Amino acid sequence: MAQVAAIIGGGVIGGGWAARFLLMGWEVRVFDPDPEAERKIGEVLDNARRSLPGLSDVMLPKEGRLVFCQTISQAVEGSIWIQESIPERLDLKHKVYQKIQEHCDAGAVIGSSTSGFKPSELQGCATRPEQIMVTHPFNPVYLLPLIALVPSDKNPPELIDKAKETLTGIGMYPLHVRAEIDAHIADRFLEAVWREALWLIKDGIATTEEIDDAIRYGFGLRWAQMGLFETYRIAGGEAGMRHFIEQFGPCLSWPWTKLMDVSELTDELIDQIADQSDTQSGMHTIRELERIRDNNLVTILRGLKAQDYGAGAVLNAQDARQPVADIDISQPIQTVARAVPLDWTDYNGHMNEARYLQAFGDATDRFMEIVGCDADYIASGGSYFTAETHICHLDEVRAGARIRVETQCLLGEGKKMHLFHRMWEGDRLLATGEHMLIHVSLETRKASVPAEKIAVRLGKIAAAHGGLGWPEGAGRAIAGAR
């Protein structure tokens, strides 16, 4: 049975949490008195459905059930995770926790999305303060993995561990903040930058657009993959971190930042910022901007995934935790099951031709793994290289579609491995890929026979698949004008 999460307070943040849980197969119960809540969460969910499943290179679980509740009690009863994302007013939060704790399981985690309050402030005079902790996400919650997990000394270590496990399970990265401080690390940096930015605008030094460009064409690119310190370690060069600080340190006493004081948010300054922002981004609706942002984030995240670094390594670890289907060699073997990611599509929203081969290449890699040609074997000096490929494009497919590849082995003998992949969306055949692979020695880069254990396993599958019949389209040539 699906695990149950309660989302108290919808909106952009609550909706993002709901999407994470739902798309990882949880049942989600939402309480939000706003009559617009269902529409608002629906819009966040639409964004999440088009971007999150394809981030994964394996198939996510079936989407869970979404229930809108009339009362807090209906939402929290039976929930093992309760996420509060209501406005930043402490008295309101305290009232809501009281109501939650009247009905919820004493072992459930009550996480708060607060960006400012400390856990001990949230716990206040709660019946069971030990249940309540800060689990602060970053927008868009369905794509960014970071969670500032801030417990107080009232939270038992077992519950903290359980919270980490749940968050990791839905693809997030819980950063355990070991001390309670206002704004839990990341928001302190955001605050510092925001204040500085206000001064720059107020003093007429830069517009919103110039400030954004100063970030996204420079250090923003660095910070998407390494943070402050790893970046500066490199800047220190061979002499290292100590050298960097010694160079950079004296600057700290220079009056570069204007943060000794806070710029007052006058109506005039607000107008200035709103007007500049309209000039910069007003040609797009918020919905368009969200989708541009999500396309960019998916592209960046999938790129980092291919490099197995930073947030990309978090995603790979998440994929590795998903269950692997059993293999029945009497039938074509399922070697790929995934959603088509946003970055595989062209401007039409259709999967680009090269990505068909990428999916077939992934299918081949998986098949190689199944016959024993895995990372260890490749490290030992043998592998299969593709010599020849024939693809028939039969139908189009859009971003978000759940596709699978089934692989039939036509020959597995000596140095040769001849595979035939069929790509499906449901019962719609999208493409076929026929591939001749040759076993090579990675040292000589020349054809060689595979290790005995691979030859045996491959021969067994080839023999089993021999009974499946020759596939339509295999051995085909392009009918030319010759």
Binding to a second copy (CB under 8 A) within 341-370 occurs at 343, 348, 352-358, 361
Q: Which of 99, 366 has the CB closer to a second copy?
A: 366
Smallest distance, a second copy to C-beta of residue 40, A: 8
Stretch that binds a second copy, among 20-28, 48-56, 65-73, 247-255 (CB under 8 A): 247-255
| Partners of residue 173 on adjacent β-strands | 146
**Residue from 46, 105, 191, 425 that binds a second copy (CB under 8 A)?**
191
Q: Which of 77, 196 has the CB closer to a second copy?
A: 196
Q: Which of 262, 325 has the CB closer to a second copy?
A: 262
Stretch that binds a second copy, among 24-32, 68-76, 92-100, 387-395 (CB under 8 A): 387-395
Smallest distance, a second copy to C-beta of residue 209, A: 8
How many helices and strands in the chain, by DSSP H and E? 17, 13
Q: Which of residues 418-447 bind a second copy (CB under 8 A)?
A: 418, 434-436, 442, 445
Smallest distance, a second copy to C-beta of residue 246, A: 8
- The whole-angstrom separation of Cα 334 and Cα 459 is 18
| Partners of residue 437 on adjacent β-strands | 386, 417
**Residue from 73, 120, 168, 231 that binds a second copy (CB under 8 A)?**
231
**Residue from 25, 78, 116, 124 that binds a second copy (CB under 8 A)?**
116
- Mapping DSSP to helix (H, G, I), strand (E, B) and coil, where does residue 408 land? strand
Stretch that binds a second copy, among 24-32, 120-128, 157-165, 273-281 (CB under 8 A): 273-281
Amino acid residing at 158: E
Query: Comparing C-alpha atoms, which of 58, 59, 88, 83 is closest to residue 72?
Result: 83
> Exposed, middle or buried by CB within 10 Å (0-12, 13-18, 19+), for 434?
buried
Q: Which of residues 31-60 bind a second copy (CB under 8 A)?
A: none
Smallest distance, a second copy to C-beta of residue 57, A: 14
The four Cα atoms 278, 280, 285, 291 give a dihedral, to 10 degrees, of -150
The CA-based diameter of the chain, rounded to the nearest angstrom, is 85
Smallest distance, a second copy to C-beta of residue 414, A: 11
- The whole-angstrom separation of Cα 85 and Cα 420 is 50
Smallest distance, a second copy to C-beta of residue 310, A: 5
Asked if 270 interacts with a second copy (CB under 8 A), we say yes
Asked if 133 interacts with a second copy (CB under 8 A), we say no
**Residue from 33, 102, 161, 385 that binds a second copy (CB under 8 A)?**
385
* R_g of the chain computed on alpha carbons: 27
Q: For a second copy, how many residues bind (rule: CB under 8 A)?
A: 154
Residue 216 is encoded by which pair of tokens? Answer: 């996204």
- The whole-angstrom separation of Cα 212 and Cα 222 is 15
Query: Comparing C-alpha atoms, which of 454, 463, 451, 350 is closest to residue 400?
Result: 350
Q: Which of residues 388-407 bind a second copy (CB under 8 A)?
A: 388-393, 396
Neighbours of 150 (CB within 10 A): 26
Q: Which of residues 151-190 bind a second copy (CB under 8 A)?
A: 173, 175, 177-179, 181-183, 185-190
Smallest distance, a second copy to C-beta of residue 131, A: 24
**Residue from 128, 222, 366, 415 that binds a second copy (CB under 8 A)?**
222
**Residue from 34, 90, 161, 307 that binds a second copy (CB under 8 A)?**
307
Neighbours of 192 (CB within 10 A): 13
- The whole-angstrom separation of Cα 410 and Cα 459 is 10
Beta strand 109-112 with 402-413: parallel, antiparallel or unpaired? unpaired
**Residue from 92, 228, 325, 463 that binds a second copy (CB under 8 A)?**
228
Asked if 316 interacts with a second copy (CB under 8 A), we say no
**Residue from 46, 77, 105, 196 that binds a second copy (CB under 8 A)?**
196
Smallest distance, a second copy to C-beta of residue 191, A: 5
Whether the CA torsion 282, 285, 291, 294 is positive or negative: it is positive
Asked if 467 interacts with a second copy (CB under 8 A), we say no
Q: Which of 94, 222 has the CB closer to a second copy?
A: 222
- The whole-angstrom separation of Cα 142 and Cα 49 is 9
Q: Contact 96/104 with Cβ under 8 angstroms?
A: no
Residue with tokens 């026979």: 449
